[in-house]
Amino acid sequence: MIITIRNTANSEHRAQLMALLCRITGSQRPITTTQMRGREVVAIDSALVDPEAHSLLRSLNAVEQIHSLNTPYQLASRAFQPENTSITIGATNACTPVIIGGPHADPVIMAGPCAVENREQLITTAQAVKRAGAHVLRGGAFKPRTSPYQFQGLGVEGLHLLAEAREITGLPVITEVMEPGMVETVAQHADVLQIGTRNAQNFPLLLAAGRNSKQLPVLLKRGLSSTLSEWLLAAEYILAAGNPNVILCERGIRSYDPQTRNVLDLTCVPLLQELTHLPIVVDPSHSTGRRELVPIMSRASIAAQAQGLIIEVHPDPDTALCDGKQSITPEQLTKIIRETSLIANMIREEISVA
């Protein structure tokens, strides 16, 4: 259940509403509102609202409208917001912002190394992906690694290098955050907070990302074996915490075939576009695990109507400290951007014909 709050509601009216919602839901957490569709909204669990509370809610001055949805997710649902969510990446730092989502946006290309390894590697790559036409620089400062003995990233030093790379190239920066206690530190340097597949149901992290003080967009990767419903409910944690800027990222799901351990589920792109208004990008690097497949699956992703791509690029993939096997060169990126742009144009024209 989503409640739209009246523009005219004063602080007393709002306090009244919040007190009633706390009473109804028995929530220990303060209840948070989110700005969506130009209005302030708040979502609660409809199962907790009995019919009497319903009419009580309607009678409050603060309440403009009550939306009852029959999906488990509320704010993420296209039934609530029919138009696409449009998110500006890079609004708060000195860089060239780019918009994802929205009516006629071009595919947004996020590219860069798996991990920030050192100043030279990062700056070189950043300049190369910029030249290739990318819109956002990706790079891991904190790396979730399956083994404690693998390279874990440069940490805060990596964040500083990313900020420097943004200064030099003008590209906004996306980087991963792995724990609630680090959200503000990462938010200080990044333009988009990335939440990785292993943290797709790390609820304290989702809440913290939802509450980041700069309302930076959050790119939420699909869990290793998340259903679409679980994924949208993870997004709902961020939305319900007050942050409407969520980008979904398909990165492959677990499979039984040792030859393709992750299966890129491209059908989820149009399926999600029915279910939610949030933008969806595809990660062809992790989902395929092999650089030869990245250009082809990038084309297929855009043909499936993904609104962007996040791609691992390394100036010298074979020496990369992590994920070299799936990293492409800047030259390959140039070709990918040209091809996906042709496909996106073709789709746009086809749709305008229809």
Count of chain residues binding a copy of itself (CB under 8 A): 88
For the segment 291-350, give every residue that binds a copy of itself (CB under 8 A). Answer: 292-293, 296-297, 299-305, 335, 338-339, 342-343, 346-347, 350
Q: Which of helix, strand or coil describes residue 30?
A: coil
For the segment 77-116, give every residue that binds a copy of itself (CB under 8 A). Answer: none
Q: Going by C-beta distance under 8 Å and a sequence separation of 6 or more, which residues neighbour residue 254?
A: 224, 225, 261, 262, 263
- Select from 320, 252, 316 the least CA-distant residue to 284: 252
CA 101/CA 112 separation, integer angstroms: 21
- Judged by beta carbon, residue 188 or residue 305, the one nearer a copy of itself is 305
Which listed residue (93, 124, 255, 329) binds a copy of itself by CB under 8 A? 255
Which listed residue (224, 242, 324, 325) binds a copy of itself by CB under 8 A? 224
State the helix-helix crossing angle for 119-132 and 156-169, rounded to 10 degrees: 40
Q: Give strand pairing partners of 41.
A: 4, 34
* Unique residue bearing structure tokens 């039984």: 256
Does residue 205 bind a copy of itself (CB under 8 A)? yes
Does residue 35 bind a copy of itself (CB under 8 A)? no
Which listed residue (198, 211, 214, 325) binds a copy of itself by CB under 8 A? 198
Which part of the chain contacts a copy of itself (CB under 8 A), choosing from 40-48, 92-100, 126-134, 307-315? 40-48
CA 166/CA 94 separation, integer angstroms: 8
CA 76/CA 48 separation, integer angstroms: 19
Which part of the chain contacts a copy of itself (CB under 8 A), choosing from 77-85, 100-108, 256-264, 309-317? 256-264
Residues in the chain: 354
Which listed residue (66, 72, 105, 164) binds a copy of itself by CB under 8 A? 72
Which listed residue (132, 178, 192, 333) binds a copy of itself by CB under 8 A? 178
Does residue 68 bind a copy of itself (CB under 8 A)? no
Which part of the chain contacts a copy of itself (CB under 8 A), choosing from 3-11, 185-193, 211-219, 290-298? 290-298
Q: Which of helix, strand or coil describes residue 295?
A: helix
Beta strands 34-36; 39-43: pairing state: antiparallel
- Judged by beta carbon, residue 8 or residue 146, the one nearer a copy of itself is 146
Site string for a copy of itself, 126-155 (x = CB under 8 A): ------------------xxxxxxxxx-xx
CA 333/CA 298 separation, integer angstroms: 10
Beta strands 173-176; 136-138: pairing state: parallel
- Judged by beta carbon, residue 2 or residue 89, the one nearer a copy of itself is 2
